Amino acid sequence: MHEVDSVARPADAVVSAWFRARRGIGEGDRGQILELLYALLQHHARLGWWLLRHGREDVARNRLLAWLALKEGRTPDQVKLLFDGSKFAPSALTAQEHALLVKLQGGAIDHAGMPEEVRLECPAWAAGPLRRRFGSAFAGEMAALLTPAPLDLRVNPIKAMREAMLGALRDLGLAAQASAIAPHGIRLDERVSLARLPMLKSGEAEIQDEGSQLVALLVDARPGERVVDFCAGAGGKTLAIAAQMNNKGHVIACDVMEGRLKRSAERFRRAGLHNIETRLLASETDKWIKRHKAGFDRVLVDAPCSGTGTWRRNPDARWRAREEEGLDNLVALQARILASAARLVKPGGRLVYATCSLLLEENEEQVAAFLAAHPAFRVVPLEEAAPGLAASAHGDHLSLTPARNGTDGFFAAVMQREASPPGEAANGPNGP
């Protein structure tokens, strides 16, 4: 827990590195450690509130003690037996720690005196924007973000069919069902070791939330087209797009992080997809973009964002320093990325802007500002772009939340480049 708090990396990356350095830990113990860690992250604000109430420092060890007392109902003497300083046990309790356990004994994790944002684990930087987004639905949406996320798979149609994959998963003793909307999606509602899923190693399936699958579906890439995934990251949506194209045409996966592109290339190979090229960009205004302006049928901009829609999967992301980074700075970066990527879209082509955010500032308002500055583009209403997803619309856009849709929170807008108005260059009013 201390490493997750002190290292500027996502919790899953920190945990993976920690386990790699401790290969002797068995699978059962690993599962228990992970479960405890994510429970502590999901209760971060409430545990901190209790520690502040009793004048204790909000550090990892104190949070663990508070969890054992408030959530597991352990007495001070029971905790003392766990913290005995032996080889594989935490160091012995101090007198101050024992006193804290005495004060917490008999309490519960939730308390009537907690502010609503604390009880719902909503960080201060996000409370205002999320209340503005959801209004009276705020509490229900925040509560949904505290529920366990399911494990969603996307079947790779280049290598397998969904019905056969469902049968293979059920043969492994897993309760698998077809996703509600995504045509290649499968949902597993139970916790499962990924080592039990051979289809991940063979490239027949990938882990991908159903909401993410639907965003990729909106790109509507056709065989033979030229497509750019502008912020490809680990390549999940790139894989789905290339499979839509039946391995025909050309997909370019771009990113500014070389390590991500190298890891994604291995995923592409495993999936049997050979119509993908990776392209490292120096920045969102890399010279490659100007050289290839108006050259692509489809461009996806899965922009870096606050990640508010993924909090049930990544609870540590709530507490990373957005106040210091600044939401305004993030919104400005998204605007620059979107404007630059738009130059790649040819007349008649489509630009899809997406985030895993729930905030208006990063979503609807970002799109409105882009359209105001780029009259060559128009929104394609969701009922026109993807009639099957119309029920998930918020205005003209795709808008998914855990409370409403059972997916991670995702936003996507489909825009089409029309013929340029007189006096406007093909790359927009802002020039190249």
Where do the DSSP E strands lie in 284-330? 296-302
Q: Which amino acid is at 150?
A: P
Q: Please identify which residue in the block is written with the tokens 């766990």.
A: 82
Q: Rg of the Cα trace of the chain?
A: 24
Q: Which 8-state DSSP code applies to residue 161?
A: -
Torsions phi, psi for 317 (to 5 deg): -65, -25
Structure-token pair, residue 383 = 């009922």
Helices (H) and strands (E) in the chain, counts: 21, 13
Q: Cα separation of 110 and 108, whole Å? A: 6
Strands 176-178 and 185-188: antiparallel
Cα 274 from chain centre? 26
Q: How many CA atoms lie within 13 A of 301 on its CB side?
A: 28
Exposure b/e, 253-275, CB count within 10 A at least 16 = b? bbbeeeebbeebeebbebbebeb
For 342-367, give the DSSP string.
HTTEEEEEEEEEEES---GGGTHHHH
Q: Cα separation of 307 and 410, whole Å? A: 9
Q: Cα separation of 68 and 415, whole Å? A: 51
The answer for residues whose C-beta is within 8 angstroms of residue 332's C-beta and 6 or more apart is none
Alpha helices in 112-224 (DSSP H): 116-119, 124-134, 138-144, 162-171, 198-202, 210-219
Q: For residue 296, what are the β-bridge partners?
A: 345
Q: Which of 122, 254, 305, 356 is catalytic?
A: 356
Coil, strand or helix at 58:
coil
Q: Is 254 a catalytic residue?
A: no
Contact 254, 279 (CB under 8 A): yes
CA angle 425, 294, 330 (to 5 degrees): 85
Coil, strand or helix at 360:
helix
Q: Cα separation of 49 and 273, whole Å? A: 50
Contact 362, 305 (CB under 8 A): yes
Residues annotated as catalytic (active site), given as ranges: 356
